[in-house]
Chain A
Amino acid sequence: MSPHASMEPMLLDRVTVYGNSESGEHAARLKETSLSVAPGEWLTVVGVNGSGKSTLARLLAGLVPEAMEGIVRRGFAGEGACPIVLQQPKAQLFGETPREEMGFALEWRGIPASEMKSTAEEALHRVGLAPLADEPWERLSGGQQQLAAIAAATACAAPLLVLDEATSMLDEEHRDIVLRAVREIHGKGTSVVWVTQRLDEVGPEDRVVAIGEGWVIYDGGGREFMYGSAALPVSPCLRAGLRLPYLTELALELRRMGKLSDPLPMTEREWLENWGNVSHGNNNIAAK
């Protein structure tokens, strides 16, 4: 890949993907989707079950669907499949320990045997699994197994990492561990497509793409996605058929009652700041 090509964004232009519906007919899973992903970008994709978000994730990961129309320019992501991490750890782990998994992953990336050990060690370190490298899966939690899958998928520097509901089987503690590891990989320049149905994973500054019944319903900032804007009076989150989380609903109610004004809080820090405003300000909070 030439350095020039590596900076081009990935582009989807009116892409329709057909899947074999279970009745055997072709049904569109993704409809006339146009989208771009820039190098180093973090893209959160949300939608309910069956909305087409997995289809989009696989397409972005470079796994070619059976039938599609439209134009895909892969740009910086390069030809061929990118690393993808799926919901079920057991479908994507082929070894019996994290170290064996790394070995398997690296062999197929054509890494010379002499560099294999250090590369594997490095990748395990990155996700914090180095001390558990020789533990069999039964002794690792679901979150740790996902970390191993991520480490194996990103064993070599990859331009793009796709995670398709990688945290949906995990509790908040383990979800945070996985999310932190992926944020770190992102911080080193890898683009990340993070597919989720858990809205508390949406950050206010994240770019959110919401999919509903195969259509891109929304593509924009996280805060507008949750709360809407002047141009979008109804929360795009509701339009995508998703349930508003408690805090989102609370903030919307507070705005309606005139007790809070835009920008509505999304993170815990922002809530605390508002809390401070409501109650004469608080240096303790402002200092943070």
Chain B
Amino acid sequence: METTTSRQNEPKRFALRIDGVRWRRSDENRQADRSDGLTLAPGTITLLIGANGAGKSTLLEKMAGLRPPEDLQVSFGAVEIWKRRKSGKAGARPNAKALLNYSYASQAPEEALFARTVRDELEYSMRPYGLSVKEREQRSEFALRAIGWDEGWLERDPYLMSGGERRRMALAAAFAAPAPWLFLDEPTAGLDGAGHETIADQLSRMRSEGTGVVLVSHDSDWALPLADQVMLLKPSGSIVLCAREQLIEKPELLTEAGMRVSEWLRTVHHLWRNGVPAELLWHPKEAAEAWPVRDETEVVEVLPEGQGALSPLGKEIAPRIRQGVRHRLSGFDPRSVWLAYILLSVGIYRLGDWIGILIGAAIVAALLGAGNVSLRRWRVVIVNYAIFSVATSAIFAWGASGEWNVRGEAFAATLFPFSRTMLILLIGLAIPLVMSPLSLRRSLEQLTSIRGRSPVWAQRMILTVALIMRFVPVLLELWERFAKIIRARGKSVSRNPAAMGRRLRDTAIPFLLALFRLGDEVALALESRGVGGSVQPTCQVRMRWRGRDYALAAGSLGLAIGLWAIGSR
């Protein structure tokens, strides 16, 4: 038992309230669905389960203020995690104070460790809470003990630890923060048996001290006996809240949520149907004692196959429904898209004044609109480029004037080429969004091929370029993942440059490490597919220009000539 934690740094107790998600209790019927007031009590463990793709991690991240809430609002006691807009809807910025109310360990949290000692990692998680030195010592001790370590570990380097030790380290960092709520996403995946036990003990201990826990876990036979209640997330996004016993009594609750009933739960269900009370079934020892012995049971009911809990598996899985229109441009030959891009770029490059730029901008906007292209994915690049252009122009204009007043003409004159380049950049950024890297590769190889074979160096270079393009979105995703984890631990939403710089640094280290691991896996996968071996790749289908490709090229030639004319006025 943990007794050393003093009163004052014990977490305060708050209920966690989720509004804006459809939910009901399992004993209510569908008409009871409502969209506000889903409340989790402090000092309870809630297991969040759902089928793949139902959005468990997404929900957890929304609850933690780490991704746009859409219609969701989450409150800890009276504090809402999303600032409200004037309209009253939850806004796009989290409330920095509310972030202090939870501690969060994501999936594979050890990948986000970045400090050189265990002590620094723990300090990083505690820093936002403004604890005294003594309180920090107590929390560190508490966190280390929670994972079965002692102070001897404080100076060790997480980087030199084994995978299991790093996982423990990351969980300790989550336990160290004195937050009233704890969010854990698959804490035991890949952990050894002893680790499962240690974590379970710690969660029970924190519960008895009033901490609320929301847990996502695949290991249902480990997690369910720990939980007080279960939040079943359906693929539709609605939630059914039920007591854990209900899953034993009504396993069909799981099938209704698009999940399979695991074998252990089905076996336990049989026991329950034959009279063993549900509360004896959570631990194998108690269940074994209650297991009916021959001749003692009178009524034995065995479910025939295909009924109730034993429903057959293997229903067809439909593709996930998500909005995502295929881009109209993907039907074109990549070469015609490239040609169109080059023609338009030349035209834009000829523009000589601001009126021309305006017309060019209108054309670019119209083209992006017509092609149904959203540049959202590149917003960071675009915003940074804009800031860089304006800042450079301002510095240049200030230097040119030699005085404090910035001269407008010099500013505009420097900004002009930047703006022109921005237009070309905007169309260029659209290309990877509408064309798959492999079709790009094929088109380039076809361009460089002589009598059906392209030279090896060209093949290599083109493959490299195509792979880099393929993995850019993966890298962006990876970066976002670590940025979220750092935000959840550092609790900083400040936009001042120093804070942003710190976040950048803390994100960069785990990002680079993850990058190396990804590179390693990609190389393995390529090698196992025979890429780079002695085989000369065969070419799948030769691409042909069709009418629409000629039309695209002609259209862009027309536009380019028009732009040229505007530029030469």
Contact = CB atoms under 8 A, between A and B. Distances in A.
Interface stretch (A7-15, A70-78, A91-99, A215-223): A91-99
Interface in B297-313: 297, 300, 302, 304-305, 313
A136 B324 contact: yes
Interface string B537-558: 1111100000000000000000
Contacts of A58: 524
Contacts of A252: 284
A238 B52 CA distance: 29
A84 B536 CA distance: 21
Interface in A25-49: 48-49
Contacts of B193: 48, 238, 241-244
A203 interface: no
A225 B297 CA distance: 32
B133 interface: no
A218 B196 CA distance: 22
Interface in B493-529: 518, 521-522, 524-529
Interface of B is mostly: loop
Nearest to A173: B260
Which residue among B196, B219, B317, B536 has the maximum number of chain A CB atoms within 10 Å of its CB?
B317
A63 B260 contact: no
A173 B49 CA distance: 13
Contacts of B159: 22-23
Contacts of A241: 192-194
B-side interface size class: 35 or more
Contacts of B535: 108-110
Contact of A282 (B274, B300, B322): B300
A253 B263 contact: no
Interface in A240-265: 241-247, 249-250, 252-254, 256-257, 259
A91 B302 CA distance: 45
B524 A95 contact: no
Nearest to A256: B288
Given A241-B193, A242-B193, A247 B264 contact: yes
B190 interface: yes
A152 B530 CA distance: 11
Contacts of B244: none
Contacts, number: 238
Interface in B201-254: 218-219, 221-222
Contact of A275 (B192, B262, B264, B302): B302
Interface stretch (B135-143, B162-170, B361-369, B384-392): B162-170
Interface in A137-158: 138-144, 152-153
B539 A135 contact: no
Given A107-B539, A110-B537, A173-B260, A49 B190 contact: yes
Contacts of A6: none
B152 interface: no
Interface in A95-140: 95-97, 100, 103-113, 116, 132, 135-136, 138-140
22 contacts: A48-B191, A80-B530, A90-B474, A91-B474, A92-B522, A96-B438, A104-B438, A107-B538, A107-B539, A108-B535, A139-B324, A173-B258, A197-B190, A241-B192, A253-B284, A253-B285, A253-B288, A257-B289, A259-B293, A268-B267, A271-B267, A272-B270
Given A48-B193, A58-B524, A171-B218, 15 more contacts: A49-B190, A91-B521, A105-B529, A107-B538, A108-B529, A108-B530, A111-B538, A139-B321, A171-B52, A200-B264, A243-B193, A250-B267, A253-B289, A277-B294, A285-B302
Leading 7 A-B pairs by shortest Cβ distance: A253-B288, A50-B163, A243-B193, A279-B300, A246-B221, A92-B525, A49-B190
